[in-house]
């Protein structure tokens, strides 16, 4: 019988540009109560994987190029060469990594600072990082783009990566966000297999708000054959007052609920059309906070936009598919 395991899929140590040694990072993951962590230093593989009694440590590397960043998980030395001359070189590297048994993720493709500048063919990866680091507008734009990819009929799982480098005074970044993976057990093979299958939901932190989707015995990532009585059930472990649950399918927002009290919430909806269903909880930022946050994005992320800030995603799921 499986369950949800909490993890960080994107993190850095002193082996590249992180502040903490691999063992210090793993200790922080243990202290957070994370079930697993994947260490993904830039273009360098750890010589030795730190050991932990309570937190599974999965080897990884972030294939880093000025044209785009790619996480490669689950193989100690997945490729021999990190120098990419062109997109064809990236394709060859990804193909080699997969042949060696690795799982591949395209990272923060619509990031304003270090986005994806090659052809964005997500089907060549196993998943895409739609939420990178503490929530900001690039992530909402990326999520919207991912929805459009799903509308094209692509089945590409979404994950969230904290891209952790160091702690800051104002907030703890390691588990922000946390990728929850539904797996039979917390082993490297099972966790990565479940990510590839899309059994993923993204929370703002360990033990934080989490959304589940079920259709009969099927869960997030599964494909469901539509029958006359097919329904989908969306469950939020807790939704705060004034937060908005949005259920989204190929036609847009299928269902919306604005919480009047802080409490768990569950809703079942009929499914009549093929496509996909995802869910997210959004919050509307107060006007004063919008102004402050716009300045923060401009100062720290070099993001400057004339458009008003959108509702911010608090938690979100990968997709359930229907045919």
Residue 169 is predicted with a pLDDT of: 64
Q: Which CATH superfamily is domain 3-322 in?
A: Metal-dependent hydrolases (3.20.20.140)
pLDDT (tens, 9 = 90+) of the chain, 323 residues, equals: 899 999 999 999 999 999 999 999 999 999 999 999 999 999 999 999 999 999 999 999 999 999 999 999 999 999 999 999 999 999 999 999 999 999 999 999 999 889 999 999 999 999 999 999 999 889 999 999 999 999 999 999 999 999 999 987 666 799 999 999 999 999 999 999 999 999 999 999 999 999 999 999 999 999 999 999 999 999 999 999 999 999 999 999 999 999 999 999 999 999 999 999 999 999 988 876 767 777 767 666 666 666 777 899 999 999 999 99
Sorted by where each begins, the domain ranges of the chain are: 3-322
Prediction pTM value: 0.95
Angle at 147 between CA 244 and CA 191, to 5 degrees: 90
| Rounded distance between C-alpha atoms, residue 126 and residue 119, angstroms | 16
The reported pLDDT for the residue numbered 308 is 73
How far is CA 195 from each of CA 88, 162, 232, 268, rounded to the nearest angstrom? 25, 16, 21, 25
Per-residue pLDDT, 309: 76
Residue 1: what pLDDT?
A: 80
Distance linking the first and last C-alpha atoms of the chain: 26
| Measured CA distances, 162 to 27, 108, 131, 257, 298 (Å) | 16, 11, 8, 28, 20
Determine the Cα–Cα distance for residues 70 and 108; give it in Å rounded to an integer: 9
């Amino acid at each position: 019988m499986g369950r949800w395991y909490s993890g960080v899929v994107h993190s850095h140590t002193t082996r590249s540009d992180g502040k903490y040694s691999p063992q210090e990072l793993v200790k922080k993951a243990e202290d957070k109560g994370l079930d697993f962590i994947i260490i993904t230093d830039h273009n360098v593989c750890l010589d030795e994987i730190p050991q932990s009694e309570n937190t599974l440590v999965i080897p990884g590397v972030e294939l880093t190029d000025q044209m785009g960043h790619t996480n490669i998980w689950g193989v100690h030395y997945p490729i021999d060469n990190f120098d990419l001359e062109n997109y064809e070189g990236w394709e060859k590297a990804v193909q080699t990594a997969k042949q060696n048994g690795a799982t591949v993720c395209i990272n923060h493709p619509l990031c304003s600072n270090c986005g994806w500048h090659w052809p964005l063919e997500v089907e060549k990866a196993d998943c895409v990082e739609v939420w990178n680091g503490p929530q900001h507008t690039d992530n909402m734009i990326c999520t919207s783009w991912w929805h459009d990819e799903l509308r094209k009929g692509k089945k590409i799982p979404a994950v969230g990566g904290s891209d952790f480098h160091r702690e800051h005074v104002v907030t703890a970044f390691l588990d922000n966000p946390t990728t929850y993976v539904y797996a039979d057990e917390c082993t490297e093979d099972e966790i990565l297999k479940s990510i590839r299958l899309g059994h993923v939901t993204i929370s703002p932190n360990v033990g934080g708000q989490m959304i589940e989707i079920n259709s009969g015995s099927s869960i997030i990532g599964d494909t469901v054959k539509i029958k006359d009585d097919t329904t989908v059930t969306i469950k939020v472990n807790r939704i705060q007052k004034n937060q908005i649950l949005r259920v989204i399918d190929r036609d847009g927002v299928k269902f919306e609920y604005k919480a009047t009290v802080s409490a768990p919430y569950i809703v079942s909806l009929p499914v009549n059309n093929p496509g996909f269903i995802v869910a997210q909880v959004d919050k509307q930022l107060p006007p004063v906070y919008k102004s402050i946050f716009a300045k923060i994005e401009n100062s720290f992320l070099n993001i400057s936009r004339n458009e008003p800030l959108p509702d911010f995603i608090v938690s979100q799921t990968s997709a359930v598919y229907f045919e």
